Chains A and B, each alone.
Chain A
């Protein structure tokens, strides 16, 4: 059974730092992996989607990587800003049925 884990559950860093959020999965038979952002009390905003054949995707200050063999994906945020404060969730789409398996998220706080 696929399990997706995000560690740590919470992270606080000073503004301007580069940081990495982690997402690990137990079953490498994934179709793609998605990263989302959620602000308190709001819906989810899709940030990046990496297909299983890809190694990384970039959007602005965000870079997501995927290593199927090690069961890991990372979200790199460059030059962090207070506006980046949110909960970041990853979800793995399974090859077998295209269902998304979700991590519990990492709550990120950027201190001014």
Chain B
């Protein structure tokens, strides 16, 4: 089955901890994206990558970091510098900019 997987489904973080969210795709897509979703708001772009070993900040990159060492993988680290990380995190991929985006099932992060 082709698609995008995210793990874990639920994640709990203590104050001061860094946590990493996994995103893997087997669609052979070049571009990958991380979004944050808060209740009653539209999705906001955190980081995106158009090609391996390259990525750009989105609208709300502060407190987050990413890597793109493999085409299939685009992990997101939520650092302790992110003061309000409780949210639903969505990973997406596409053939390239402007093409249809396909989404994973999401990870819900809660700060304890």
Chain A residues proximal to chain B, CB less than 8 Å: 4, 9, 31-32, 34, 36, 41-46, 49, 89, 91, 93, 97-105
Contact = CB atoms under 8 A, between A and B. Distances in A.
Interface in B79-112: 88, 90, 92, 97-98, 100-106, 108
A36 B103 CA distance: 10
B11 interface: no
Contacts of B53: none
Contact of A44 (B41, B90, B97, B98): B90
Instruction: Tell me whether chain B's interface is mostly helix, strand or loop, or mixed.
Output: loop
Contacts, number: 50
User: Which range holds the interface residue count of chain B?
Assistant: 20 to 34
Contact of B102 (A41, A46, A93, A104): A46
B45 interface: yes
Interface of B: 4, 6, 40-45, 58, 88, 90, 92, 97-98, 100-106, 108
A interface: dominant SS: strand
B108 A102 contact: no
Nearest to B90: A43
